[in-house]
Amino acid sequence: MIAPASIRLETARLELIPLAEKFADDMYDGLQSPALYQYIADSAPPSREWLRERYRRLEGGRSPDSSELWLNWLLREKITGRFVGHVQATVKDRSASVAYVLFLNACGVGYANEAVGRMLLSLERDYGVRGFTATVHVGNQRSIRLLERLGFTRQSFTKNAEIIRGEPTDEYRYTRTSISSP
């Protein structure tokens, strides 16, 4: 892999900034909306201190055994400087599992498409990734549409894949090969 743990990226409207503890307070309020966690097992950070500690642990960009890169970028609007979400990738060998969260007040304007698309391009060019995967709750139609717009194809269905707030949930697994290919 050529690039360091995380490099700064840009789109026309967004900066993708490598996750760092110093940005935890800026992200905290946006991560508090319960609606963000409708389709994922995570929950809102319980405190600013907790989020700072989490970011501190993730800043290094590698798993404890160094077998994986843990890449995380915070999304910040260029014009306002407002943080609007984050994108992330776990890279092992030449494959990446990707995920994203967009704050509710930033939905519907194409930021997720812009940010995830830019991340995929960097993963391929800067980190040598050739295959991408993403899992999505079967009810999360916005994410399903996003993945399909980005060229991902549904590969499988898993019943009771995850427990979210005490309820078993189903998910789809999507894949995409090199983004340079059609």
Average pLDDT of the residues of the chain: 93
- Under CATH, what is the fold of the domain 9-133? Aminopeptidase (3.40.630)
Task: Please report the pLDDT score of residue 57 as a whole number.
Answer: 93
Q: How far apart (Å, rounded) are the C-alpha atoms in residues 131 and 54? A: 28
The predicted model scores a pTM of: 0.92
Confidence check: pLDDT of 138 > 60: yes
- 4-20: pLDDT as tens digits: 567 899 999 999 999 99
Q: Which residue has the tokens 């700064």?
A: 8
**What are the DSSP calls for 64-117, one per residue?**
TTSSSEEEEEEEEETTT--EEEEEEEEEETTEEEEEEEE-GGGTTSSHHHHHHH
pLDDT tens column, 31-88: 999 999 999 999 999 999 999 999 999 998 998 998 999 999 999 999 999 999 999 9
Per-residue pLDDT for 182 more than 90?
Answer: no
Contacts of residue 132, Cβ cutoff 8 Å, sequence gap at least 6:
95, 96, 97, 98, 120, 123, 152, 175, 176, 177, 179
Q: What is the DSSP string of 32-49?
A: G-GGGGSSSS----S-HH
Structural domain spans, the chain: 9-133
